[in-house]
A and B are shown apart, each in its own frame.
Chain A
Amino acid sequence: GAVVSQHPSRVICKSGTSVKIECRSLDFQATTMFWYRQFPKQSLMLMATSNEGSKATYEQGVEKDKFLINHASLTLSTLTVTSAHPEDSSFYICSARVMETQYFGPGTRLLVL
């Protein structure tokens, strides 16, 4: 299957700082990538759809100015959590679509102190 990587795998930061998470499709090109957030013992919640060369589409309730998404190439999308607060602590997972199947990255654990 298609391989999606994320970096970093985990990050701890101070409240008020910004954190960038990278998502790469390793063996295929992805015009569309997805960003999810997952809280403990819960399902994945779609945050936004990242489109190469255009603006991301955010789900209702997700602040676009707080969660900046950039999809500058066909293999890389980045999610920047700006001015992070403890309530932003979560597991962030990206995904890329091949045909109709979505393949997921390993996730990034964010802890904001």
Chain B
Amino acid sequence: GESVGLHLPTLSVQEGDNSIINCAYSNSASDYFIWYKQESGKGPQFIIDIRSNMDKRQGQRVTVLLNKTVKHLSLQIAATQPGDSAVYFCAEIARSGSARQLTFGSGTQLTVLP
């Protein structure tokens, strides 16, 4: 079946550098995407979302880029801080039957080095 996947399972960055986390999706029917941050032992936390009619959206220190041509999504974190260390999941939402279903990617572990 179609799925959302990530290019890299782990990413280490120096504190203060920018981080880029990538995600590939294959369901062409997906029209809404969300990035979640999950710290150890906690539930996923909403970071930022983007609809398929946009190619870029910015939040506080985070930017999401969407390339529908190659079905690629990325999360950019500016000036990465130790508190950014977590697993980051991309998720896509597409219509499944009469409902809209959210599907998670496999996750990327971001480690911020001092």
Interface residues of A (CB under 8 A from B): 1, 4, 6, 34, 42-44, 46, 49, 91, 93, 95, 100-107, 109
Contact = CB atoms under 8 A, between A and B. Distances in A.
A93 B93 CA distance: 18
Nearest to A1: B46
Contacts of A95: 43
A101 B46 contact: yes
Chain B's interface size range is 20 to 34
Interface SS majority for chain A: strand
A34 B91 CA distance: 15
Contacts, number: 44
Contact of B46 (A43, A46, A93, A103): A103
A44 B104 contact: yes
B98 to A, nearest CB: 11
Given A46-B101, A102-B34, A104-B46, 8 more contacts: A34-B102, A43-B89, A93-B44, A100-B32, A100-B100, A101-B49, A106-B42, A107-B43
**10 closest cross-chain pairs (CB), A and B:** A104-B43, A107-B43, A104-B44, A43-B104, A106-B43, A93-B43, A44-B104, A105-B43, A43-B106, A43-B107
A43 B107 CA distance: 6
Nearest to A43: B104
Contact of A109 (B34, B41, B106): B41
B57 to A, nearest CB: 13
A23 B89 CA distance: 22
Contacts of A101: 34, 46, 49
